[in-house]
Amino acid sequence: MVESNRLAARVPLTDGARQHYRKNGYVHFPGILSRDEVAEYRAAAEELVRKEGPELWGPEEEVQVHYVANAWRKHDLLKKLALHPVITGLASALAEVPLRLYSSDILLKKPRRALPTLVHDDETGLPMSNASTTLSAWIALVDVPEERGCLSFMPGSHSRADSECQGHMTSFANFVNIKDIWPDYAWRPWTTVPVRAGDVTFHHCRTVHRAGVNDTDEARIGYGVVYMDAGATYLPGVQDEHLHHLRPGQALDGPDFPLIEAG
């Protein structure tokens, strides 16, 4: 009881932040991690990148992000970060449903190398049903001003009609340019959200977002964590080779998808 009260006090979710997330489909929390935590987790991320070798997302000349997938299963400290009580507490409070950890990736843009991250929403690439409350945390492990490739969000885009969403994708060949399915797209404003090391942003899986290039001499290191509805089931999609032992419709549960304890 004492522990949960202490935790609740540390979860900085104001009514204003909750309303901002509901209305806009994203929200920014400055200073969630201390300087010491940032240093510890950044070192862990750099260590894992060195050890695993960055996996490529497409041919080298087309790389938008170098990443290490499912990092929480590969490094104890990155598991600790994916299950960080303040971050999971915020995720639970924003989603307003019980959650499980789906995945966590180190998201790295090399200095002066990476291309912009294409406009997309996360729902399209997630191999799961019941994704209506799924959300992602983006944890900054270095300062990420605009010129280092921070995220930009399209406020309110998570509320667009189903007909204006691509929905589930089973092959990257099926990827649809959002301009072709959402007539309003070109007329909607973007919000760019520079983040300092230790800040966390959350975005709903339908929120349209993108990231710029890294035009600085320092790597952009972020940690993206997807928290899904605890009742989500497997729906074959893309980048889901690690789930091929599951049957379609099978629950994404058990120790591979830890239940999040609400703050």
The residues that touch Ni ion, with contacts defined as CB under 5 A, are 122
Q: Name the residue nearer to Ni ion (CB basis): 37 or 122.
A: 122
Residue 190 Cβ vs Ni ion, minimum distance, rounded to whole Å? 14
Q: Number of C-alpha atoms within 13 angstroms, CB side, residue 49?
A: 22
Smallest distance from Ni ion to CB 204, Å: 11
Q: Closer to Ni ion at the Cβ: 92 or 136?
A: 136
Q: Is 253 exposed, middle or buried (0-12, 13-18, 19+ CB in 10 A)?
A: middle
CA 45 to chain centre: 16
Q: How far is the CB of 218 from Ni ion (least distance, A)?
A: 22
Cα–Cα distances (Å) from 114 to 28, 216, 221, in that order, read 24, 11, 12
CB of 2 to Ni ion, least distance (A): 38
The smaller minimum CB distance to Ni ion, of residues 198 and 224, is found at 224
Structure tokens at 154: 């399209």
Q: Which residue is nearest to Ni ion (CB)?
A: 122
User: What does the block give as tokens for 141?
Assistant: 């492990």
Q: By the 8 A CB rule, do 148 and 215 touch?
A: yes
| SS3 of 160-185 | CCHHHCCCCCCCHHHCCCHHHCCCCH
Least distance in angstroms from the C-beta of 138 to Ni ion: 8
Nearer to Ni ion, 49 or 137 (CB): 137
Whichever of 122 and 199 has its CB closer to Ni ion, that residue is: 122
DSSP assignment of 42-55: HHHHHHHHHHH-PB
Select 38 or 211, whichever has its Cβ closest to Ni ion. Answer: 211
Q: Among candidates 3, 197, 13, which has minimal Cα distance to 89? A: 13
Sheet containing 151-153, strands listed edge to edge, beginning at the edge strand earlier in sequence: 117-120, 209-211, 151-153, 191-192
Between 27 and 262, CB nearer to Ni ion: 27
User: Smallest Cα–Cα separation from 148: which of 107, 120, 101?
Assistant: 107
Least separation in angstroms between residue 211's CB and Ni ion is 8
Task: For the CB of residue 179, give the shortest distance to Ni ion in the complex, in Å.
Answer: 18
